[in-house]
Amino acid sequence: MKNLGIKAVSALLSAAVFMGVYFSGVATVETFAVDDPYTAFSKATTVYNGVDYKAEYNPLYYYLNYADLRNAFGANPDKLVEHWVIFGKKEGRVANKLIGDSTEFVVPTGEKDVIVIPKTKHDNGGMTYDQEIQARNIAKQIAEAIENAADAGNTSASSGSSGSSKSKSSKKKAIKDVEKVAYAAGIVKAYCDLGTYTTKGKMYRTAYGVFIGGEYSCAGATRALGLILDYLGISWVHKNINSWEDQWCQVIVDGKEGYGDGIAATAGYGKHPNEGGDAKDVVSYSKIRYKFEVATEKPKKEK
């Protein structure tokens, strides 16, 4: 990890809008200390209800790590430490480290520790320009369909939970990012099933081979799933890239480390089962598919 002080300063500069900094016509700079997070949090409390959480909680890092908290509480240290104790710890939020820099993410594992996941620039497996355009077009359409179905499913879950109806929709819970990954993995698996598995040729390692070329491998399935994740806004790393090992997407979902496997049509929190993760925690496409089908369900007639 790079020096956290340097990263904090860099992050503060990039978030200058929260610091009350502006440039006048004569290029002067004025700052208002009351709005400066560094000043506000240098002496901020880490105590809540008589308990000091300084060993696990840094007010400045917690502020910088989460835009929703900045928007909700501004530079209010009392509100932030209250949120950390009551909600943040349970949600697995990170308050003792600055999350990531230009080359890495620091995210919870889903257990009690954190993991550093490198930000990577993904190669396309050897696709030509035209092939990548076609593959990305399909991946974008799939991602948009998933988001639309998820929005419809979440709307159904919200409306159903407030009433007394015992209909199927009332039992549905909000769709999580890990479930979107599992659904996307299931779609990639369906494309693979239409093609031929091979480790020869020019397309088997690419998303184009999966979506259009009719040939695939675990490398191609991983890149195809990765393209969909790009359009879903989900960060991922290509595990075991350019090797003869099984390959999959290591992802960051719901604020945690996770994985997505286009060959197995599965996703989950924590490590992939191939790395020692618990197979019992696997989220499979077949199990969560119904959550996305609400968008295509016909309205039921009222009795």
Residue 107 confidence (pLDDT): 75
Residue 39 confidence (pLDDT): 61
Residue 171 confidence (pLDDT): 52
Question: pLDDT higher for 60 or 143?
Answer: 143
CB-based burial, 89-128: b 16+ in 10 Å, e otherwise: eeebbbbebbbbbeebbbbbebeeebbebeeeebebbebe
Distance CA 211, CA 72 (A): 42
The set of long-range contacts for 190-199, using a CB threshold of 8 Å and a minimum separation of 24, is 191/216, 191/224, 192/216, 192/221, 192/262, 192/263
Predicted model pTM = 0.64
Residue 280 confidence (pLDDT): 82
Phi, psi angle pair for 95, to nearest 5°: -125, -5
pLDDT of 182 > 60? The answer is yes
Token code pair at residue 143: 């991602």
pLDDT of 106 > 80? The answer is no
pLDDT of 24 > 80? The answer is no
Cα dist from 37 to 9, 85, 92, whole Å: 11, 20, 23
pLDDT of 73 > 60? The answer is yes
The answer for residues whose C-beta is within 8 angstroms of residue 121's C-beta and 6 or more apart is none
Residue 260 confidence (pLDDT): 97
Highest averaged pLDDT of the listed ranges 5-9, 26-30, 34-38, 127-131? 127-131
pLDDT of 18 > 50? The answer is no
* Beta-ladder partners of 261: 266
Residue 71 confidence (pLDDT): 82
Going by DSSP bridges, is the β-strand pair 196-197/114-118 parallel, antiparallel, or unpaired? unpaired
Distance CA 159, CA 171 (A): 11
Question: pLDDT higher for 37 or 90?
Answer: 90
